[in-house]
C-alpha cells in the first residue's frame, strides 16, 4: 500500500560486486576519550550488516544505506535484529551506531543535538559516503531530525520513531532511570541480580530493567559500574528534551516517516502541525504500543518502514 502517492524519492544506486552471505562486522574506531570541543566530531562505534546477495543491476528498487540511531541509554546492540532484517529484506547495507556517551563510543562532555548530529554527519561522510536513510528512536529520532535539517544533502529519507520536533519536558521515567543507575553505582553491588532487584524500586517492568542493565560493566574491584557516563547524561537531560531549530528557517523537504506509539506521550496530536512545518512531505503512522515501539511491535514496525522505503519500487 502506497504511503505517499505521487511523491518521487531520490534513491541512491547501491550494488555489490560479488555474492556474499549476510555479514555482521564490528569496527573499533577509537579509544574512549573525554573532550569538550563541540566543533570536532568523534568517531562512533558501529556494527555493519551487509545484504546476503548481490543486488541485481536490473533492480529498480535500490534502497539507500540505512543508519540506525538508538535512544537514551540504548546502544547499537538494541538494533541488531531490525538491522539484520532490513539488510536482508531491503537488500542494502545497514549500520547500527553507538551515539556519543553510549555503548562503546567515546565519552564527551557535550551532549546535545547539535553535537550528536555532527558525529553522525561525519560518520555518513567518512564511512557510508552516500546519502542515507537515517532512522532513529527517541533521542535518536531527534538526532535524525537534526541531521535532516542541518545537512539534507546527506539524507535520502528520514524516519523518526516516537519523538517529535518540539521542546518537551521528558517523561518522569528517564530522569528516574538515571537516578536509579547512579544509586546502583554508589552501592558497590557485585552481581546483576542485586542490581535488577534495586531497579525494581524504580521500574516494575522487567524488560525495561533488563534493557537498562545492558549498560552495566564490572569495575576492576568486581563491583558493578556502567559504560555510560551517568554524570554527563544527568546534566544533559534538559538538552535531550529540547529541539533547537526554527521551522521558519529550517525545513527538510525530502521524504519523512514518523512512527508513534499510541500509548506514548512523546508525539501528541498537538505536535502534528509542527511536524508538518519542519517536514512538509511527512507521513505519520500509529502503532498500538508505548514508547518502546520497535521492541513492542517489531513485525508491524518493520513492515511500515519497509513499505515506506519500497514506495518507489516496481
Instruction: Confirm if 169 and 103 have CB atoms less than 8 A apart.
Output: no
Give the active site residue among 75, 105, 115, 138: 138
Strand partners, 66: 94, 133
Instruction: Confirm if 111 and 233 have CB atoms less than 8 A apart.
Output: yes
291 as an active site residue: the answer is yes
- Dihedral of the CA atoms 140, 145, 147, 150 (nearest 10)? -150
Helix, strand and coil in the chain, % to nearest 5: 35, 15, 45
107 as an active site residue: the answer is no
Q: How far apart are CA 247 and CA 268, in angstroms?
A: 18
Sign, CA torsion 106/110/112/117: negative
Give the active site residue among 70, 107, 111, 291: 291
Q: How far apart are CA 45 and CA 281, in angstroms?
A: 31
Active-site amino acid positions = 138, 291
Amino acid at each position: 500500500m502506497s504511503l505517499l502517492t505521487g511523491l518521487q524519492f531520490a534513491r541512491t544506486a547501491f550494488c555489490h560486486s560479488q555474492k556474499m552471505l549476510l555479514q555482521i562486522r564490528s569496527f573499533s574506531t577509537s579509544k574512549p576519550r573525554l573532550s569538550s570541543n563541540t566543533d570536532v566530531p568523534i568517531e562512533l562505534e558501529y556494527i555493519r550488516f551487509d545484504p546476503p546477495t548481490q543486488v541485481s543491476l536490473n533492480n529498480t528498487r535500490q534502497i539507500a544505506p540505512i543508519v540506525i540511531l538508538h535512544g537514551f541509554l540504548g546502544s547499537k546492540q538494541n538494533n541488531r535484529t531490525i538491522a539484520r532484517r532490513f539488510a536482508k529484506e531491503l537488500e542494502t547495507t545497514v549500520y547500527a551506531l553507538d551515539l556519543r556517551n553510549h555503548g562503546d563510543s567515546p565519552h564527551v562532555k557535550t551532549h546535545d543535538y547539535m553535537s550528536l548530529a555532527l558525529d553522525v554527519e561525519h560518520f555518513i561522510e567518512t564511512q557510508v559516503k552516500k546519502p542515507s536513510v537515517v532512522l532513529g528512536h527517541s533521542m535518536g529520532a531527534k538526532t535524525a531530525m537534526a541531521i535532516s535539517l542541518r545537512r539534507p544533502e546527506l539524507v535520502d529519507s528520514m524516519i523518526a520513531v516516537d519523538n517529535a520536533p518540539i521542546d518537551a519536558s521528558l517523561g518522569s521515567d528517564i530522569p528516574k532511570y538515571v537516578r536509579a543507575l547512579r544509586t546502583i553505582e554508589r552501592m558497590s553491588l557485585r552481581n546483576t541480580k542485586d542490581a535488577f532487584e534495586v531497579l525494581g524500586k524504580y521500574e516494575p517492568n522487567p524488560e525495561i530493567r533488563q534493557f537498562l542493565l545492558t549498560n552495566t560493566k564490572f569495575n576492576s574491584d568486581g563491583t558493578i559500574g556502567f559504560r555510560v557516563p551517568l554524570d554527563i547524561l544527568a546534566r544533559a537531560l534538559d538538552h535531550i528534551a529540547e529541539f533547537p531549530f526554527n521551522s521558519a528557517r529550517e525545513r527538510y523537504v525530502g521524504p519523512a516517516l514518523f512512527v508513534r506509539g499510541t500509548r506514548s506521550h512523546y508525539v501528541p496530536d498537538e505536535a502534528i502541525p509542527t511536524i508538518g512545518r519542519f517536514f512538509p512531505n511527512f507521513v505519520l503512522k500509529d502503532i498500538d504500543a508505548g514508547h518502546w515501539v520497535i521492541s513492542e511491535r517489531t513485525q508491524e514496525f518493520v513492515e511500515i518502514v519497509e513499505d515506506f522505503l519500497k514506495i518507489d519500487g516496481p
